[in-house]
């Protein structure tokens, strides 16, 4: 009888198992979709960068702008980790939302790629 009493405590078990099973079944479907979506938006961003003329200086920003933003973002993240060692970052994920996607290699103007509009929008010099 003790078994039935303790089984009551595990009544959420089936739901957890079901959720776990669904995750295992759908993960192989979701992951490629997320990866393809990311890959497609990267491609769109690169394609746009090749033709986008920087409103600040008039020159086409090109693929180099994306590379510069990657570099800047990398050192920005390293800086955040250096200033906030340990778990503090995990508690404030909103600070790690990325807006910087391109930096004009000619004048240093910064741009965010708006996925929905497939366009670059200028952001401030202190925006990330």
Which residues touch 115 (CB under 8 Å, ≥6 apart)? 41, 44
Among 107, 119, 121, 122, binds Zn ion (CB under 5 A): 107
d(CA 35, CA 92): 25
Write out the binding residues for Zn ion, residues 71-90 only, by CB under 5 A. none
Smallest separation (angstroms) from Zn ion to the CB of 108 = 7
- Per CB under 5 A, does 106 bind Zn ion? yes
Q: H-helix or E-strand containing 118?
A: none
Size of the site for Zn ion (CB under 5 A): 7
Specify the stretch interacting with Zn ion by CB under 5 A; choose among 19-27, 28-36, 74-82, 100-108: 100-108
d(CA 68, CA 70): 5
In the bound state with Zn ion, the residue whose beta carbon lies nearer, of 19 and 107, is 107
Among 45, 49, 54, 65, binds Zn ion (CB under 5 A): 54
| DSSP secondary structure code for residue 94 in this structure | G
Number of H helices, E strands in the chain: 4, 3
Name the residues that contact Zn ion, by CB under 5 A.
54, 56-57, 104, 106-107, 109
């Amino acid at each position: 009888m003790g078994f039935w009493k303790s089984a009551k405590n595990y009544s959420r078990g089936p739901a957890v198992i079901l959720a776990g099973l669904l995750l295992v079944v759908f993960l192989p479907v979701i992951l490629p979709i997320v990866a393809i979506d990311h890959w497609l938006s990267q491609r769109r961003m690169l394609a746009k960068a090749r033709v986008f003329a920087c409103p600040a200086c008039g020159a086409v920003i090109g693929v180099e702008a994306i590379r510069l933003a990657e570099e800047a973002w990398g050192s920005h993240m390293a800086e955040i980790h250096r200033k906030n060692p340990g778990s503090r970052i995990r508690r404030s994920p909103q600070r790690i939302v990325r807006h910087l996607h391109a930096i004009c290699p000619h004048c240093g103007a910064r741009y965010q790629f708006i996925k929905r509009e497939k366009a670059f929008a200028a952001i401030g010099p202190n925006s990330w």
